[in-house]
Structures are given as structure tokens and as C-alpha cells.
Amino acid sequence: MTRTFQLTPLDTNSAAELRQEGGTAYVADTHPGFPCRQCLRDADVGDELLLVSHDPFSTNSPYRSASPIFIHRHDCGAPITDVMPEQLTRRLLSVRAFNEDEIMIDAAVIDGADLEDTLARFLDNDETDHVHVHNAHRGCWATAVTRDPSCDDPTKTAAVQMQESELCHTVMAH
Ligand SMILES: [Zn+2]
């Protein structure tokens, strides 16, 4: 499977810290409706969650802000990253491209079904360092997205890169 980008959701250590700090407790009473940002699944009815505040920025960018996110109350393991998670594709999303100084250089509100096309377009811009995806309605941060390093391997010859460039602009998701 060849991908142009990789999802970089909340990592396990950060999720553990957020659980320790605590948040507002919820029990999912609908599905979908409670998207966990660690496992990138919508919680099943009856699942326990915490609503916490997460700041995904690493510099003092003027865009720096924390967003509300749901996480399962207990460690829920590795996220789905080999396919585009349904928690993204079935929602209205705000997609924001940032340069390496974490300055926003592009943004769009899209139907989640168009997420792959939008990511491909944003990451095609060399100035884009990474992308943040949020739920458009309530602003919950969903995941960061970066280029797949396997598509930017400088050790590959130009011919190989040329050959792969078609694939490197396509994400296979089923
Ligand atoms: Zn989870």
C-alpha cells in the first residue's frame, strides 16, 4: 500500500497524561457521536470517555490553541492509520495546512469524503509541513497529518521517484 501522507493522531503517552489530568466524563449514548482521538474510532454505545482539552502545537505560533477532544477513559490501543477512519470521512471537517513555523498557509471546510483529495492538494504544496484536521461544527481537533516519509526518500533515484510519483499522490483506502 502506498500513501502520500500519514495520520499522526494523539499518541499513547499524551493520551495517558490527559487521562491522568482528568476531564469531563461521558458515557457514549449514540454511535457515531463520540469520536476518540487516540484510537480514531467512534465509541460504541456504553463506552466510557473523557472530554479533555488538547493543544497539538509545539511552538508559540499565533495560531496556537487547545481544542476539545474525546478520548476513551481507558487506554484503547493503536489507532487505525492504514485506512482513512470513518470518524473522519463521515463528518464535515475543517482542514488547515501549516508551514514549519506553524503558520497557517491554507484552509478549507470540506465533506469528509473529500479529505484525501484535500490532503493531497495541501501536501502537494512544498511549503506545507503538516495539516490539522478538526470537526468543522464543534471544532474538536481530530488528527495531524504529515507526508509519508517513504515518498520523500532522497536516496531514491529520480527515475524511481518519477515512477512512484503517481502512486505517491494516491492514497489507497478501503
Ligand atoms: Zn479510543
Q: List C-alpha distances in Å: 48 to 10, 36, 53.
A: 18, 10, 17
Residue 37 C-alpha to ligand 1 middle, in angstroms?
Answer: 6
Residue 79 C-alpha to ligand 1 middle, in angstroms?
Answer: 8
Residue 10 C-alpha to ligand 1 middle, in angstroms?
Answer: 10
Residue 98, C-alpha cell as written in the block: 501549516
Q: What is the torsion angle, in degrees rounded to the nearest 10, for the CA atoms of residue 85, residue 89, residue 94 and residue 100?
A: 40
Which pLDDT score, from 0 to 100, does residue 87 have?
Answer: 95
Residue 51 C-alpha to ligand 1 middle, in angstroms?
Answer: 12
Residue 102 C-alpha to ligand 1 middle, in angstroms?
Answer: 27
Residue 86 C-alpha to ligand 1 middle, in angstroms?
Answer: 13
Which residues in 38-171 belong to E strands, given as ranges?
A: 48-54, 67-72, 92-98, 104-111, 130-135, 141-147
Pairing of β 48-54 and β 67-72: antiparallel
Write the pLDDT tens digit of every residue in 88-146: 999 999 999 999 999 999 999 999 999 999 999 999 999 999 999 999 999 999 999 99
Which helix (H) or strand (E) covers residue 41, if one does?
Answer: none
Write the pLDDT tens digit of every residue in 23-38: 999 999 999 999 999 9
Nearest one of 59, 82, 55, 70 to 138, comparing CA atoms:
70
Q: pTM of this prediction?
A: 0.85
Residue 140 C-alpha to ligand 1 middle, in angstroms?
Answer: 15
Residue 134 C-alpha to ligand 1 middle, in angstroms?
Answer: 17
